[in-house]
Amino acid sequence: MDAQQLERRQAVVRILRSGVVHRQEDLVRLLREEGYEVTQSSISRDLRDLGVLKASGRYVLPPDEVSRTQSDFAMLAQFVRELKRAGTSLTVLRTTIGAAQSVAVAIDRAEWPEVAGTLSGDDTIFIATADGRAQEQLIARLQALFRI
């Protein structure tokens, strides 16, 4: 698999995680809007190779894909821009526009004990921790994962 195909498949996974795609045509349109040159047949192959399922009228990732959090973070690292403290229990993570929800979902799915919860907007994630010690653990983890 070449780098362009890998990048496109990562975009497919991100799009499927961040919203509801009911038809392949929708996915083709979304990918083209992001600058990918795709065809219906290339997307069909990508969906098949990724093991994407169609359930309840929408495309969904297979359970083993959803649970691969380490891989998720590697893929999402390119979208993370900045990390800030906001007191001793709140950490702010800035992303590129449109990526915050995907990053927040990955953090939530990781079920880290130091994270009480997340709240995401378009390019900002607020991550709550119980105290300063938990925040320190979270920041160390985020810095290692996202190299920020």
pLDDT in tens, 2-21: 778 888 988 998 898 877 78
Q: Give how many domains the chain has, as a whole number.
A: 2
* Same domain flag for 16 and 45: yes
* Same domain flag for 73 and 62: no
* Same domain flag for 82 and 56: no
User: Domain containing 12: what range?
Assistant: 3-66
At which of 19, 45, 66 does a domain end? 66
* Same domain flag for 100 and 121: yes
pLDDT in tens, 100-118: 888 898 898 888 889 999 9
* Same domain flag for 115 and 132: yes
**Residue ranges for the chain with pLDDT beneath 70:** 1, 55-56, 62-71
> CA 133, CA 68: separation in Å to the nearest integer?
27
Structure tokens at 33: 């809007």
* Same domain flag for 95 and 139: yes
* Same domain flag for 59 and 80: no
* Same domain flag for 46 and 73: no
* Same domain flag for 97 and 138: yes
CATH number at residue 123: 3.30.1360.40
Q: What share of the chain is helix, strand, coil (3-state, %, to 5)?
A: 55, 20, 30
* pLDDT score recorded for residue 67: 47
* Same domain flag for 85 and 47: no
Contact criterion met (CB below 8 Å) for 8 and 38:
yes
Structure tokens at 17: 């995680």
* Same domain flag for 78 and 120: yes
* pLDDT score recorded for residue 66: 44
* pLDDT score recorded for residue 85: 97
Structure tokens at 26: 């929708």
* Same domain flag for 58 and 34: yes
